[in-house]
Structure 1
Amino acid sequence: MKDKEKKIIEAGMSLFAKKGYSATTIQEIVDACGISKGSFYLYFKSKEALLLAAFKYQFQSIQSKLDSLTLKNLTPRETFIAQLEAQLEEILKHKEFIIMQIREQTIPINSEIEHFIRKVSAEISGFYHESLSKIYGEPINPYIYDLNMILQGIVHSYLKLIIFDKASFDLQRLSNFILKRMDDMAAGFIRSNEEPILTSDYVEQLSELYPEPTKEDVLRKIKHAKEQVENEDITITLEVLEGEIEREKPRTPVIQGMLGNLKNEPDLEHVKTLIEKFFDLTND
């Protein structure tokens, strides 16, 4: 992202938060940046386009923070606590912008923004799913979708208290507290041997409401995985996949062959699943 583009986005977010999206004019945004309207339109075709860019900028800042934490030598539990704390911190940095969105009901303002919000929701759900799977292992598999849903509900409820009711918490303590409640839930699910409410088939039907992964999503996940693995053969496999996906016309047999190398790598199951979904290989 170019410096001027970033400057416009940050100025827009600040003004949207202070004045509201509807009341903020492009002229006020360019005045805050010290640029002309012509320069604004070089980067954004409209105020709606700037709002979408602001959503993406906010989400990417959270995503970058979470990705950086997985590179540290932490256990799955420590990683989750650190990532949840970072997620809450980043959201709080932009709480006035979030309040504006809800107050003015800017979501969905158009189909492109609605599409992106659904994508963010799917990404967050995927982050929780992967974390819970690593922490609790195979025994939680039958209940992981219910546990994920409960986790999202708990996090959203505390965020509501923090953002709208101005409650103040130690975010590290809160993140640790939430994970301990997941421990209680996980143990209860496994002990109960009860039929889950959310099955994989049901969740698969729901997933049709969410956007398909993009090439950029797949490449970002592969790049992140390469930074984590230590096995040279797996690194080479990921590099081949990365190179193949970047081709104008990726070769499906090559991709299938490389995915076969990942079948015994549980830590990379999410990457394998994402690639299979992108190339529609799940039924092959």
Structure 2
Amino acid sequence: MIDDKKKRMIEESMKLFSEKGFHSTSIQEIADKSNVSKGAFYLHFQSKDELLIEIYSYYSEVILEKIGSINSRTHDPLKQFTEQIEAFLGLFKEHKEYLMMHVRDNINLGEKMNELIFSLHKQSYNWLENQIIMIYGERIQPYIVDVVIQIDGILSGYFKWIAIHDLKFDSEQLAKYIIDKVDVIVKSILQENQQPIFTYQSLSMFKEPSAQEIIQQIKKQIERSDNRELLEAILVLEEEWNKKEPKKIIIQSMLKHLESNTTIKELIRKLKKFL
């Protein structure tokens, strides 16, 4: 779990970034706004760049946890998807500063940030794909990439306009409206029965990673959450996995313990395929 002081620095810095911009905000301003010393800032973050990466990571985990709780409440896929979109809108309504960060500065922090953005993008794709197939069945599969791109465009457009123009809205009403438009798009695609524009083969992110690459991804996610129990579990799993004759029962036990965390559940599912 993230400690209160670190959480406060994340939230206060996000407000400053949304008001002044990332590059115009100093570490001293972040420390002052968070009521901590500059030294305390460096105890939690090596730099302002690392702080920004932590912000993206922190809020992606908040969103994934929210979606996970909705999955457990209802088995109706359409209702589930509508509630998830509503939750998304509600979170961004509460944390407008997070939206403003996306539209205010074009920030490039190199390979580490690119890896995180790519990972979040892939998680977003997997979530949308799963929900659409659950609702419309396998017949939408050939067009799934085109559908996901269009849904992403609708959501991104609303988020951008809400942030820039400070638009007021009802999360439930807007979620239902968006789902209605998605339904029209999907049914139109199925009815027209045209060739898809983009497919899985078009996307570089679907190059299957090795088991070791997946384990490293899991470790990175756990290290960000600072959960010692999960970190111990993944280290035990990694050690056992690398043995010449690994014990399957140990690996399965560690996987079961790890998959209780919603943020790494999809990675655990992929790792299980190697057993």
Same fold (TM over 0.5): yes
Amino acid at match of 2:179: L
Query: Contact (CA 8 Å) 1:92, 1:163: kept in 2 or not?
Result: no
TM-score normalised according to structure 1 size: 0.73
Deviations 1:95-128 (A, max 9, x none): 334324432322x233212221222111111111
Cα separation, 2, equivalents of 1:62 and 1:55: 11
Cα separation, 1, equivalents of 2:132 and 2:236: 29
Cα separation, 1, equivalents of 2:8 and 2:106: 25
Q: What is the match of residue 156 of structure 2?
A: 156
> CA 1:121 to 1:143, structure 2 compared with 1: closer, same or farther past 3 Å?
same
Q: Does 1:121 align with 2:96?
A: no
State the Cα distance separating 1:42 from its structure 2 match. Answer: 1.4
4+ residue runs over 6 A deviation:
242-245
Deviations 1:32-62 (A, max 9, x none): 2332222221111111111111121222222
Amino acid at match of 1:81: T
Q: Secondary structure at the match of 1:248?
A: helix
Cα separation, 1, equivalents of 2:12 and 2:135: 40
State the Cα distance separating 1:218 from its structure 2 match. Answer: 8.9
Cα separation, 2, equivalents of 1:99 and 1:145: 27
Deviations 1:214-236 (A, max 9, x none): 125898xxxxxxxxxxxxxxxxx
Q: Does 1:76 align with 2:77?
A: yes
Q: What is the match of residue 183 of structure 1?
A: 183
State the Cα distance separating 1:247 from its structure 2 match. Answer: 4.3
Q: What is the match of residue 66 of structure 1?
A: 67
Cα separation, 2, equivalents of 1:91 and 1:177: 17
Q: What is the match of residue 39 of structure 1?
A: 40
Q: What is the match of residue 250 of structure 1?
A: 241
Cα separation, 1, equivalents of 2:234 and 2:38: 40
Q: How many residues align?
A: 244
Cα separation, 1, equivalents of 2:65 and 2:15: 21
Deviations 1:118-167 (A, max 9, x none): 22111111111111011111221121221111111111122222222333
Q: Does 1:169 align with 2:172?
A: no
Amino acid at match of 2:192: S
Q: What is the match of residue 19 of structure 2?
A: 18
Matches within 5 A, 1:212-251: 214-216=217-219, 246-250=237-241
Query: Contact (CA 8 Å) 1:244, 1:250: kept in 2 or not?
Result: no
Query: Contact (CA 8 Å) 2:18, 2:104: kept in 1 or not?
Result: no
Cα separation, 2, equivalents of 1:32 and 1:166: 23
> CA 1:114 to 1:207, structure 2 compared with 1: closer, same or farther past 3 Å?
same
State the Cα distance separating 1:84 from its structure 2 match. Answer: 0.6
> CA 1:78 to 1:23, structure 2 compared with 1: closer, same or farther past 3 Å?
same
Matches within 5 A, 1:131-146: 131-146=131-146
> CA 1:244 to 1:29, structure 2 compared with 1: closer, same or farther past 3 Å?
closer
When the two chains are superposed, the root-mean-square deviation of aligned CA atoms in Å is: 3.3
Q: Does 1:87 align with 2:88?
A: yes
Q: Secondary structure at the match of 1:164?
A: helix
Worse-superposed segment, 92-101 or 15-24? 92-101
Cα separation, 2, equivalents of 1:87 and 1:65: 8
State the Cα distance separating 1:74 from its structure 2 match. Answer: 4.2
Worse-superposed segment, 244-253 or 194-203? 244-253
Q: What is the match of residue 99 of structure 1?
A: 100
Query: Contact (CA 8 Å) 1:218, 1:275: kept in 2 or not?
Result: no
Name the structure, 1 or 2, with higher relative contact order (CA <8 Å, separation 6+): 2
> CA 1:171 to 1:187, structure 2 compared with 1: closer, same or farther past 3 Å?
same
Cα separation, 1, equivalents of 2:236 and 2:138: 31
Q: What is the match of residue 58 of structure 2?
A: 57
Q: Which runs of 5+ in 1 are unaligned?
A: 220-241, 259-270
Cα separation, 2, equivalents of 1:61 and 1:119: 15
Q: What is the match of residue 193 of structure 1?
A: 193
Amino acid at match of 2:237: E
